[in-house]
Chain A
Amino acid sequence: MAAPLFLLAPPRSYTSLMNAMLGQHPQAFGLPELCLFNVEILGQLWIRSSDEMGSDAKTRHGLLRAVAEIYGGEQTMHSVRMAEHWCAARQNHSVASVYQELVAKIDPLVAVEKSPAYTVDVKRMRAMYKAFPDARFLHLTRHPVGQCKSVMSLYDGTFALFVNSIEFQADRAVVEPQYAWHDFNINILNFLDSVPPEQQMRVRGEDMMSDPPEYLGRICRWLGLRQDADAIEQMMHPERSPFACFGPLDALFGNDPNFLSGPTFRPHKVKVPALDKPVPWREDGAGLKPEVVALAREFGY
């Protein structure tokens, strides 16, 4: 069974695009966000996880769409209903065995997945590695300012709030996404320390955006996949992925809504902001934390 490739990155780090691009390789299969390793037993995905924030039904959309596509060959309300039955029949199975079943079904294609929620906690990544000891892990980085701006622009920074990326001031608390940027990347680094070097790779998202053929080629070499012009060309069309659009009404998401509404890739040079200037999401002129700057420098920013 072909070992899967997991993309590890905090959310809003080009993961959707990168996942869809790599998934378009003729020898790969790009999955939507399965979020399976958020829990231990499949049925737990159907249990409400937070009383503080809104509904978490969206976390199941990726899995339902994937099952509908893989077993039904289409994503319709009927095939999503079938996917729900498929999951119900496995509700007491470990997520590792469910994931292995999916990977076996698409074998010999290499499963490619990213669920940014995995990076919230090292134990989720540990579970992935335990389920797939041969898996490859691609650590995708993005400049803290770009990533945090992007987080704050999506639903008023709901993600940062959801993961308690909060700064406490004398008389109020404010959402401060750089804590999440730092701590999720730290989680990834701490986890990757336990993975042999040949099973991991780090790529800066900005480099990838400016010269995709070069970086896609490097990743394919590392994965042992074809790197010919045809394979690269196919990867330049993430919009052709069956998951690069909104799904049927009962499983609309499974990915970043911005990506779902505009999945086409346009190569562009990303402007890399300075690390020592005030950050745009703060009204008090504050900048990046010294720990964030140090980590960003470690990533080559």
Chain B
Amino acid sequence: MSEPVNVRKEGNRPKIGPVDGDPVSTHPDLDKLSPYQRGLREALLREFKARKVKKFVEKQVKYINGNRQVAEEIKILFDEHGQPPANAPMEDIIAERRHLEHQIKWFEAMLLELQTRLLRVREIEALALDVLEHSPEA
């Protein structure tokens, strides 16, 4: 492979961005910026990072809320000692029982589906290992 043979020169059209240098490094050329502008840039970076963290936390809170919601839903079945409350309305208990039965059905269906998938994957894995064992290169 040879070096480029042509003698064409690179152009020198001017850029307009306020910061030059190698930006994808720790050393963007900030010399052209005044100390005040550097401060503003720092603030912008900090604001951006804060926003990023905030979004991450919001996402995590959603998961935590999900768990809390489940806890809230089954709370009715228990008092502070972990015993069913003596004066819980019958309707609430029936509604809660139905709700839980419904969720259990869902979980059972999911479990069945995952078990079926696991079986299939195990079969494929065993078959692949078998092929490898009997291959001439093994």
Contacts and interface: CB of A to CB of B under 8 A. Distances in A.
Interface of A: 1, 38, 49-54, 100, 117, 120-122, 126, 129-134, 155-156, 158, 161-168, 171-175, 179-180, 182-183, 186-187, 189-196, 289, 291-292
A173 B44 contact: yes
B23 A168 contact: no
Contact of A194 (B9, B15, B28): B9
B119 interface: no
A81 B83 CA distance: 53
B44 A166 contact: yes
Contacts of A162: 23-24
Interface SS, B side? loop
Contact of A161 (B6, B9, B45): B45
Nearest to B4: A133
Nearest to A172: B40
B19 A164 contact: yes
A1 B10 CA distance: 26
Contact of A183 (B17, B33, B41): B17
B136 interface: no
A168 B24 contact: no
Contacts of B19: 164, 166
18 contacts: A50-B25, A52-B45, A100-B1, A117-B24, A126-B10, A133-B1, A133-B4, A134-B1, A164-B18, A166-B44, A168-B18, A172-B40, A173-B41, A179-B16, A179-B17, A194-B8, A195-B8, A291-B16
A190 B48 contact: no
Contact of A168 (B11, B22, B37): B37
A131 B15 CA distance: 26
Q: Which bucket holds chain B's interface residue count?
A: 20 to 34
Interface pairs A-B: 7 shortest CB-CB: A193-B11, A164-B19, A173-B40, A190-B11, A179-B17, A183-B15, A133-B4
B56 to A, nearest CB: 11
A182 B15 contact: yes
Contacts of B12: 190
A162 B24 CA distance: 7
A183 B4 CA distance: 25
Contacts of A100: 1
Nearest to B3: A133
Nearest to A195: B8
A155 B48 CA distance: 10
B82 interface: no
Interface in B29-47: 33, 37, 40-41, 43-45
Contacts of B33: 168
B6 to A, nearest CB: 5
A51 B17 contact: no
A183 B16 contact: yes
A179 B18 contact: yes
Given A173-B37, A190-B10, A193-B10, A182 B51 contact: no
Contact of A189 (B8, B13, B16): B13
B21 to A, nearest CB: 9
A182 B4 contact: no
Contact of A52 (B3, B18, B26, B37): B26
